[in-house]
Structure 1
Amino acid sequence: MVLDTVVYHPTLLKLIKYLDATAGREKSLRLIQYLVRFLSFQVKQAGYPLALFQLLKNLQNQAAFIRKALRFLKPLNHLQDAAKAFDNKLSDSILRHSIVLKNIAYIGYLSLDSLAWFKILGLVSTKTFSKAPKYANWFWFAGLLAGLVNDLRKITITNSQISSISNVEGNEKSQDKMKAVQVENYKATRKLVWDSLDFFVVLNNLGFLRNSEGAIGLAGTITSVLGVQDVWGATKI
């Protein structure tokens, strides 16, 4: 009976379903990758044995390698999302175009990421398109920039809606609408923080900023936690 209670516990069932999905595994590996990146910097700074530092760096590299495999063909998802956003003529113009640009940029970013995976596997010469990592980061930069525009636009729209609802005489319907808009405003603000931290990472990757590995690892860890939260919340049992 005790075993049944554990085996069929809703949290365990949800964890199994979460890890059974590619998105769940990829987000978890991203969390490991950046957390280990942060920890390896702390270990090195604290003067711990070099072997421990190397172990953590190897774990970071392995997590990054597996993530590349899990993201293979993911550009197709972004191609579909871009097409859907482009066809939605009724949406706000800035939101629509920023979503399209964001997804097109991510198609480039993930395609070049797959090329890096092929190189590691030995399917493509390491000399082929040697600047691929740099261009991949530029695509990520463009995608995040479009995402930031989208976030700010959503915040502007929801703030305007909140002001309009506040000026209306309170009733149950308006209160429900206010709660819904406030939720959307929170989501947009949360996404703005998320994209800003990832933007910090890519600015360091491109050399515009020169922060420590610890700072980059911490920023990536925070955004990874946000990603895990989203996938976990979307997992239904």
Structure 2
Amino acid sequence: MSGAISILSLVANNHAANIYIKYASTLVGRDKACRFAQYFSRFLVYLLSQRTTKPTGTSWLTALTKVQGAMGTTRKIMRSGKFIDFLNLFVKSLATKGEDEVTKFLNSVHKLGMFVFMAFDTLGLLGSLSVVTLRDAGKVGRTAQRGWMVAIVCQLLAAVYQLRSLRMREVDLERVRRHVEKSADVMGDREIAVEQQIIKSQAQAARRQLVVAALDLTIPVKGLGLLPINEGLVALAGTVTSLLGAQDVLAKITV
């Protein structure tokens, strides 16, 4: 008995177990895990539907389709009511002072788009559960997708704008660096090195946001039928951004 307790204690105090506990305790962490399961199942469904005709493959196809639907519904339930948070963030973003006007505008529209997405997403969920009666459930879903698409486009444009601004800062910093070299200013060299590191870090984050936004944009674009994007590519894009999101959560809890 004591041996079993020791083993359980060892497992409970394991570093990996502690990381899992911290990850699972966050709502965003659970959402990213469910999102990965949802889009990876969607990707496997696409592959099986393209290649499999055997009865065994059909059973897998049915099971994975159910997983995809269950994960999608679970995520809808977890984020239901979150539109209130985004409405609050939208109002706060309008009152923000001292921020670049372009960044402020894109940030505000992003929050507004997410509010529309979450509000109509919750309304669609209530309709599917027969809590409310919807005249046109399809229209509600399309409105949610449009709100999400607007929010993603704003993220993409914000990343492009930030990269442009950082590039301009780099040019100005290079001009200052040449002046400092001529004057042999040691303190100036150190300050420039710190600023270069900051710019590098911010540019890396902006490029990551750009990639994630570009990949995620395929999902509502496909859902709204705006472009004939391959179903497998959409599912793969969702899988990749889910993993990147999970990585962000892990980075925060392992600091």
Structure 1 length-normalised TM: 0.93
Report the counterpart of residue 183 of structure 2 in structure 1.
none
Q: Which has the higher contact order (CA 8 A, sep 6+)?
A: 1
Question: Which stretch shifts more, 106-115 or 211-220?
Answer: 211-220
Report the counterpart of residue 72 of structure 2 in structure 1.
64
Q: Which letter does structure 2 place at the counterpart of 1:10?
A: H
1:71-120 residue CA offsets vs partner (Å, 9 max, x unmatched): 01211222232233222220110000100001011100011110111122
Report the counterpart of residue 237 of structure 2 in structure 1.
219
Residue number among 39, 43, 49 corresponding to 2:44 in the alignment:
39
Question: Which stretch shifts more, 61-70 or 213-222?
Answer: 213-222
- The reply on whether 1:182 has 2:200 as its aligned counterpart is yes
Q: Which letter does structure 1 place at the counterpart of 2:79?
A: R
Question: Which stretch shifts more, 87-96 or 226-235?
Answer: 226-235
Residue number among 152, 165, 170 corresponding to 1:144 in the alignment:
152
Offset at residue 43 of structure 1 (A): 1.4
Offset at residue 236 of structure 1 (A): 5.3
Residue number among 71, 93, 108 corresponding to 1:85 in the alignment:
93
* % same residue: 24
Q: Which letter does structure 2 place at the counterpart of 1:227?
A: G
The 2-side partners of 1:102 and 1:193 are apart by 17
Offset at residue 192 of structure 1 (A): 0.7
1:122-150 residue CA offsets vs partner (Å, 9 max, x unmatched): 21225455410111111111111222221
Q: Which letter does structure 1 place at the counterpart of 2:221?
A: L
Check whether the contact 2:76–2:122 (CA below 8 A) recurs between aligned residues.
yes
The 1-side partners of 2:146 and 2:159 are apart by 20
- The reply on whether 1:50 has 2:83 as its aligned counterpart is no
Report the counterpart of residue 172 of structure 1 in structure 2.
190
- The reply on whether 1:7 has 2:12 as its aligned counterpart is yes
Compute the RMSD of aligned alpha carbons. Answer: 1.8
Check whether the contact 1:162–1:182 (CA below 8 A) recurs between aligned residues.
no
Question: Which stretch shifts more, 128-137 or 89-98?
Answer: 128-137
- Give the secondary structure class of the aligned counterpart of 1:131: helix
Structure 2 length-normalised TM: 0.87
Report the counterpart of residue 114 of structure 2 in structure 1.
106
Report the counterpart of residue 233 of structure 1 in structure 2.
251
Check whether the contact 2:218–2:229 (CA below 8 A) recurs between aligned residues.
no
- Give the secondary structure class of the aligned counterpart of 2:86: helix
1:174-204 residue CA offsets vs partner (Å, 9 max, x unmatched): 1122111111111011101111111122111
Unmatched tracts of structure 2, length 5 or more: 1-5, 181-187
Question: For the pair shown, which has the larger CA radius of gyration, 1 or 2?
Answer: 2
Unmatched tracts of structure 1, length 5 or more: none
Offset at residue 221 of structure 1 (A): 0.8
Structure 1's consecutive aligned runs of 4 or more residues displaced over 6 angstroms after TM superposition are none
* Aligned residue pair count: 237
